[in-house]
């Protein structure tokens, strides 16, 4: 599939002006040159500008800025996969194979979590793998979300007349099952049963950015087949998984998902629309009081999904909400873990970190898990997915009553 | 999703309209398809070209009745101009300029141009205020600002102008990537300490001059670096816009957006409105590409989508159309008549735009949509480059549409 949108580029360079990486890295030629400019040359030779492609964060802020509708980020992502110059090493395999690493780590999480915190192991990962020793790894869960679901929740879901599916993603499954549990708590209180897809693989975003296009495609096909089989709404809780499933599959991997794209939706959008139309009602605890600063992750900005998060957070009477200026936190998934990128990563995030410190909230709310790791590590403020915040503040009994359960 | 007002387009007109509405407590959503042409701004807003010493009123009286100023009503314009200045001021944008007449600014080509409002840091003076002996400062390696070009243009006007080239080691480092040695990248380098060092370098060379002119590459996020630069220089100084992207323009965009958001406004930055639903002569909702079947409902819709560059208008070989709803468009003749052969002549296509009535209501197949308005460069009837009314039309039409909406409440 040839994407010809690069021909719409009028060379205004606004993408480069708004690129968080170009702002901190003078060696990055910027999205205009790496993307649409380079694409012309790459028609002749795929090797053009390939040294620059590794700096792209895939944050899509270039696309959000482009006045001419050029899919700059997609062009770069595709060029990276097609160039043949990116040979993933051991580090890339480890960082990008979230399913494999998660499945291996969860059973041993009581050992692995403390070991990942040791200075010695951090130094070793730095020296041997090139994973920066200053990085904090997210902890692995004691049991996966899927296992918990099968044991404790699966059966109960059948009782609901209305059903939705849930694409949990790697983070909810291996690192933070509470996110999935909270979604089920919310949906159940509103009268919806939550089912899991027949088969779910990692969405593949990290595989795409680490040059493993073949594996990303295989996993994408599994996911699309399951989503087709579900035949109804599939909720998500991560902005990045959502963007990958909806937009990267067709734009970068060349897999047509037009028949199911609109079925895939952030749970926050689903809830917000149902609340606005009066179809479901939410009641919150009267004693829940939190100062919350909302961070618009890059992929929330690109998809505009924050317009559903803010009204929901504003529904909670005890939440005092500040909206932070939308800017990149700098981690960009696996990018910030790599030793050579650490300084860039922290430099990009500095503006956001300062704004968070100024807001001084109880929680930073965002739907992106890697933003969470980055912000928690860099500022010490606790970061929470709006789904968890809603679930924590929810008065379950009152909500059930309002929804006539 | 329900809002009071939905504004399609997040440039100067969209933002000013939205801010006017949000200041009165209305719940507004802006849907913008990427960044706007405000990012290429000269740092000044024109209103209308006038004869020397003439005020706006006379020049406007001579405009054809199809011009947006005439539709809005000549009597209303002074008050609307005051409103615009107030909106900018409350967004933290300091401007200079009189309400009734033009001042002059210097263009990137060294020409003098009439203009209505300028950012306080940009060049602004009256015809009789000669600059004296001028030093035009260039930054070494920067290709989007041509100091000798400017100096020679000023020289032709009898102003004695010299040039000099300065640098700090941070700008030298940027030259490694010569093709991206652009205004926005340079602006990122100049914060407190770097500004002071650059000012020192300029002061050394500006011993024998009365006025210093610099490229506008200071203050991407806020005005402070630009102000600091001027304060650190030993002589009076001002900025001239560079080739795009425009640093003052990017800042304008950011400050207006921030103002809108601080008033509770919602700004969708990267979406395309792709259709709407019309019931009984009213537009009730629109859809956007990223949001599937979500209906964005509002009492009023403001089309502030810009002209051809911003995709507010589209042209094929045989027609010109408005891509969202196919609103009625004013244009004449066939493809061959849309362009004048002389590129510097008044170009017919520039005055093409969406048809509106005097209340700026748009129409579809001849039927007025009573709750949908067009503002800014999307409007037909102006010939913005020829008559020098780009910024003025964008700004006053936006505030006028907001007034109409507010007066209905």
CB contact B258 to A (< 8 Å): yes
- Domain membership flag for residue B246: no
B33 touches chain A (CB under 8 A): yes
Write the burial class of residue B296 (CB in 10 Å: 0-12 exposed, 13-18 middle, 19+ buried). buried
- Taking the Cβ of residue A310 and every Cβ of chain B, the question of whether any pair is shorter than 8 Å is answered with yes
Last residue of a domain, one of B240, B261, B285: B240
Q: Tell me, what's the pLDDT at A47?
A: 76
Give per-residue burial for A365-387: e unless 16+ CB within 10 Å, then b: bbbbbbbbbbbebbbebebbbbb
Interface contact flag, B177 A64, Cβ < 8 Å: no
C-alpha to C-alpha distance for B312 and B352, rounded to whole angstroms: 11
Residue A89: is its pLDDT beyond 90?
no
Residue B45 C-alpha, separation from nearest chain A C-alpha, in angstroms? 20
Q: What is the pLDDT of residues B149-202, one digit of tens each?
A: 999 999 999 999 999 999 999 888 888 877 778 899 899 999 889 999 999 999
C-alpha to C-alpha distance for A133 and A342, rounded to whole angstroms: 9
B375 shares a domain with B310: yes
- Comparing CA positions, the residue from A43, A69, A3 lying closest to residue A248 is A3
* Domain contains B116: no
- Best residue of B2, B9, B27, B34 to probe chain A, by most A CBs closer than 10 Å: B34
- Angle, helices A177-189 vs A267-276, to 10°: value is 20
B109 burial (CB, 10 Å; 0-12 / 13-18 / 19+) is: exposed
Q: Is the Cβ pair B268, A307 closer than 8 Å?
A: yes
The three-state DSSP-derived secondary structure of B169-208 is HHHHHHHHHHHHCCHHHHHHHCCHHHHHHHHHHHHHHCCC
> CB–CB of A64 and B34 under 8 A?
yes
Whether the pLDDT of residue A353 is over 50: the answer is yes
Chain B residue numbers with beta carbons less than 8 Å from the beta carbon of A263 are: none
Interchain CB contact of A302 with B (< 8 Å) = yes
Q: Nearest CB to B258: which of A23, A273, A325?
A: A325
Across A42-51, A313-322, B55-64, B135-144, least confident range: A42-51
Q: Is the same domain home to B402 and B257?
A: yes
pLDDT in tens, A163-201: 999 999 999 999 999 999 999 999 999 999 999 999 999
Q: Does A64 touch chain B (CB under 8 A)?
A: yes
Q: Which of residues 267-306 of B touch A (CB under 8 A)?
A: 268-272, 288, 290-294
Whether A22 and chain B come into contact, CB under 8 Å, resolves to yes
Nearest to A64 among B40, B270, B309 (CB): B270
B389 and B264 housed in the same domain: yes
Same-domain status, B301 and B191: no
| B226 within 8 A of B193, measured Cβ to Cβ | no
Q: Is B6 a domain residue?
A: yes
Q: Is residue B264, in this structure, part of any structural domain at all? A: yes
- Distance between CA atoms of A250 and A231, rounded to whole angstroms? 19
Number of domain units in chain B: 2
Q: Degrees (nearest 5) of the Cα angle A12, A14, A16?
A: 110
pLDDT of residue B53: 81
Distance from CA of B184 to the nearest CA of A (A): 6
Q: Is residue A104 part of a domain?
A: no
Residue B172 near chain A (CB below 8 Å): no
In a domain, A355, yes or no: yes
Contact B407, B337 (CB under 8 A): no
Bridging pattern class, strands B28-31 and A162-167:
unpaired
Rounded Cα distance between A207 and A191, Å, is: 36
Q: Which of A387, A44, A104 is nearest to A235 (CA)?
A: A387
Nearest chain B residue to A321 by CA distance is B264
What pLDDT, on a 0 to 100 scale, did the predictor assign at position A6? 87
Average pLDDT over residues B367-385: 96
Of A82, A110, A125, the last residue of a domain is A82
From chain A, the residues in CB contact with B184 under 8 A are 13, 16-17
| Same domain? B131 vs B179 | yes
**A 243-272 near B (Cβ less than 8 A):** 261-262, 265, 269, 272
Kindly report, residue by residue over A236-271, the tens digit of the pLDDT: 999 999 999 999 999 999 999 999 999 999 999 999
DSSP 8-state code for residue A118: -
Contact call for A273 and B1, based on CB within 8 A: yes
Last residue of a domain, one of A58, A82, A106: A82
The whole domain housing A342 covers 290-396
Strands A264-266 and A234-236: parallel
φ/ψ of B104, rounded to 5, equals -110, 150
How many Å apart are CA A379 and CA A364, to the nearest integer? 10
- 3-state DSSP call for residue B250? helix
Minimal Cβ distance to A304: which of B2, B179, B268? B268
Among the three residues B213, B240, B267, which one is the final residue of a domain in this structure?
B240
State the best of B10, B181, B222, B270 to mutate against chain A, taking most chain A CBs within 10 Å: B270
Tally the C-alpha atoms within 13 A of residue A193's C-alpha that lie toward its C-beta: 13
Give the pairing type, strands B266-268 and B273-279: unpaired
B268 CB neighbours in chain A (<8 A) are 304, 307
The answer to whether residue B108 is domain-embedded is no
Q: Which residues contact B61 (CB under 8 A, 6 or more apart)?
A: B74
Determine, yes or no, domain membership for B247: no
Q: Are residues B69 and B128 in the same domain?
A: no
The shortest CB-CB distance from A66 to any of B34, B182, B291 is to B34
- Reported as a pLDDT band with limits 50, 70 and 90, residue A334 is confident
How much of chain A exceeds pLDDT 70, in percent? 99
Same domain, B144 and B53: no
* Residue B158 is assigned to a structural domain of this protein: yes
Same domain, B306 and B375: yes
Residue A325: DSSP 8-state:
P
Domain containing residue B327: CATH number:
3.50.50.60
Give the separation between CA B310 and CA B398, rounded to whole angstroms: 17
Distance CA A189, CA A169 (A): 22
State ipTM: 0.93
What is the CATH number for A372?
3.40.50
Same domain, B59 and B190: no
Taking CB atoms and an 8 Å cutoff, what residues of chain A touch B288? 304
Same domain membership, residue B183 and residue B304: no
How many A×B Cβ pairs under 8 Å? 104
Asked which of B214, B240, B266 is the last residue of a domain, the reply is B240
CB spacing of B174 vs A325 below 8 angstroms: no
- Rounded Cα gap, residues A141 and A180, in angstroms: 12
Q: How confident is the model at residue A1 (pLDDT cuts 50, 70, 90)?
A: very low
Q: What are the C-alpha distances in Å from A362 to residues A100, A319, A376?
A: 34, 10, 12
Q: Does B2 touch chain A (CB under 8 A)?
A: yes
Mean pLDDT of chain B: 94
Which residue, chain included where needed, has tokens 């601080």? B262
CATH number at residue B220: 3.40.50
Per-residue model confidence (pLDDT) at position A302: 95
Last residue of a domain, one of A50, A82, A114: A82
Tens of pLDDT, residues A98-151: 888 888 888 988 998 998 888 888 898 888 888 999 988 889 999 999 999 999
Calculate the average pLDDT of chain A: 93
Does a structural domain hold residue A377?
Answer: yes
Cα–Cα distance for residue pair A217/A239, rounded to 1 Å:
20
Percent of chain B with pLDDT over 90: 90
* Closest in B39, B174, B294 to A273, CB measured: B294
Using DSSP bridges, classify how beta strands B353-354 and B329-330 pair: parallel, antiparallel or unpaired.
antiparallel
**Among all residues of chain A, which has the CA nearest to that of B180?**
A29
A146 touches chain B (CB under 8 A): no
Does B223 lie in the same domain as B271? Answer: no
| pLDDT bucket at A2, cuts 50 / 70 / 90 | low
Q: For position A90, what pLDDT does the model report? A: 86
CB contact at 8 A, B351 and B68 = no
User: How many structural domains is chain A composed of?
Assistant: 2
Neighbours of A220 (CB within 10 A): 27
Q: Within a 10 A sphere around the Cβ of B72, how many other Cβ atoms?
A: 22
List all residues 6 or more positions away from A320 whose beta carbon is below 8 Å from its beta carbon: A290, A291, A292
Locate B266 and state its tokens: 């919602």
- For A285-297, how does the pLDDT look when each residue is reduced to its tens digit (9 = 90+)? 999 999 999 999 9
Share of chain A above pLDDT 90, in %: 73
Mutate one of B269, B293, B304, B377 to test the A interface: name it (highest A CB count within 10 A).
B269
Pairing mode, if any, of strands A290-294 and A363-365? Answer: parallel
Domain of residue B16, residue span: 2-38+49-93+252-408
- Same-domain check for residues B235 and B264: no
CB contact under 8 A, A67 and B291: no
Mean pLDDT of the region A49-74: 90
Q: Which two tokens stand for residue A326?
A: 């939308």
Helix (H, G, I), strand (E, B) or coil at A155: helix
Residue A123 CA neighbour count, 13 Å, CB half: 3
**E strand or H helix that includes residue B183:** helix B183-189
**Residue B331 falls within a domain, yes or no?**
yes
């Amino acid at each position: 599939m040839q994407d010809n949108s690069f021909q719409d580029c009028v060379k205004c360079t606004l993408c480069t002006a708004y690129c968080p990486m170009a702002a901190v890295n003078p060696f990055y030629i910027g999205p205009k040159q790496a993307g649409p400019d380079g694409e012309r040359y790459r028609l002749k030779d795929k090797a053009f500008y390939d040294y620059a492609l590794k700096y792209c964060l895939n944050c899509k802020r270039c696309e959000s800025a482009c006045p001419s509708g050029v899919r700059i980020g997609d062009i770069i992502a595709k060029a990276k996969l097609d160039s043949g110059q990116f040979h993933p090493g051991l580090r890339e395999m480890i960082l990008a194979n979230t399913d494999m690493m998660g499945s291996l780590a969860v059973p041993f999480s009581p050992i692995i979590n403390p070991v990942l915190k040791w200075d010695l192991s951090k130094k070793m990962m730095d020296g041997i793998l090139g994973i920066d020793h200053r990085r904090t790894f997210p902890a692995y869960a004691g049991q996966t979300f899927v296992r918990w679901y099968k044991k404790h929740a699966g059966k109960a879901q059948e009782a609901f007349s209305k059903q939705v599916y849930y694409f949990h993603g790697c983070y909810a499954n291996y690192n933070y099952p509470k996110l999935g549990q909270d979604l089920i708590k919310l949906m159940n209180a509103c009268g919806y049963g939550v089912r899991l897809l027949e088969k779910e693989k990692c969405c593949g975003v990290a595989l795409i950015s680490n040059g493993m296009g073949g594996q990303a495609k295989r996993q994408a096909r599994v996911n699309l087949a399951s989503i087709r089989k579900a035949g109804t709404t599939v909720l998500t809780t991560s902005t990045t998984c959502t963007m990958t499933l909806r937009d990267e599959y067709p734009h970068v991997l060349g897999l047509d998902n037009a028949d199911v794209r609109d079925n895939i939706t952030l749970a926050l959008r689903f809830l917000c629309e149902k609340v606005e139309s009066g179809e479901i009602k939410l009641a919150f605890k009267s004693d829940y009081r939190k100062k919350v600063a909302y961070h618009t992750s890059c992929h929330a900005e690109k998809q505009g999904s924050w317009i559903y998060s803010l009204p929901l957070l504003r529904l909670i009477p005890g939440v005092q909400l500040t909206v932070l200026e939308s800017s990149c936190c700098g981690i960009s998934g696996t990018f910030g873990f790599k030793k050579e990128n650490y300084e860039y990563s922290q430099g990009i995030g500095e503006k956001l970190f300062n704004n968070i410190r100024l807001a001084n909230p109880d929680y930073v709310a965002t739907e992106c898990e890697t933003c969470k790791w980055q912000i928690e590590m860099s500022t010490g403020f606790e970061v929470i997915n709006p789904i968890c915040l809603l679930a924590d503040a929810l008065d379950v009994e009152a909500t059930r009553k309002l929804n006539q359960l | 999703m329900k809002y009071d007002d939905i504004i399609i387009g997040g440039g100067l007109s969209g933002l000013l309209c939205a801010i006017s509405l949000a200041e009165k407590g209305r719940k507004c959503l802006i849907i913008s398809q990427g960044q706007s042409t405000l990012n290429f701004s000269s740092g000044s807003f024109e209103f209308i070209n006038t004869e020397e010493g003439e005020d706006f009123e006379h020049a406007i009286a001579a405009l054809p009745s199809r011009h947006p100023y005439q539709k809005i009503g000549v009597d209303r314009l002074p008050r609307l101009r005051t409103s615009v200045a107030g909106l900018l001021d409350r967004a933290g944008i300091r401007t200079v300029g009189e309400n009734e007449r033009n001042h002059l600014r210097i263009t990137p080509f060294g020409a003098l141009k009439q203009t209505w409002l300028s950012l306080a840091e940009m060049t602004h003076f009256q015809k009789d205020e000669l600059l004296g002996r001028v030093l035009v400062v260039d930054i070494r390696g920067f290709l989007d600002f041509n100091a000798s070009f400017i100096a020679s243009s000023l020289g032709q006007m009898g102003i004695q102008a010299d040039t000099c080239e300065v640098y700090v080691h941070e700008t030298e480092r940027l030259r490694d990537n010569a093709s991206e040695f652009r205004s926005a990248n340079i602006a990122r380098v100049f914060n407190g300490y770097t500004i002071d060092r650059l000012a020192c370098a300029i002061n050394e060379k500006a011993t024998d001059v009365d006025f210093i002119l610099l490229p506008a590459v200071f203050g991407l996020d806020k005005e402070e670096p630009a102000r600091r630069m001027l304060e650190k220089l030993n002589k009076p100084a001002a900025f001239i816009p560079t080739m795009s992207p425009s640093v003052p323009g990017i800042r304008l965009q950011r400050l207006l957006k921030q103002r809108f958001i601080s008033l509770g406004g919602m700004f969708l930055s990267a979406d395309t409105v792709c259709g709407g639903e019309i019931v009984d002569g009213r537009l009730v909702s629109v859809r956007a590409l990223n949001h599937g079947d979500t209906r964005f409902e509002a009492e009023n819709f403001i089309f502030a989508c810009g002209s051809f560059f911003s995709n507010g208008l589209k042209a094929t070989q045989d027609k010109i159309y408005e891509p969202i709803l196919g609103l009625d468009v004013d244009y004449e003749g066939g493809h061959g008549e849309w362009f004048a052969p002389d590129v510097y002549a008044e170009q017919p296509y520039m005055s093409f735009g969406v048809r509106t009535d005097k209340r700026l209501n748009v129409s579809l197949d001849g039927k007025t949509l009573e709750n949908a308005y067009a503002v800014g460069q999307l409007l037909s009837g102006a010939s913005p480059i020829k008559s020098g009314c780009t910024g003025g039309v964008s700004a006053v039409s936006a505030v006028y549409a907001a007034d109409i909406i507010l007066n209905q409440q």
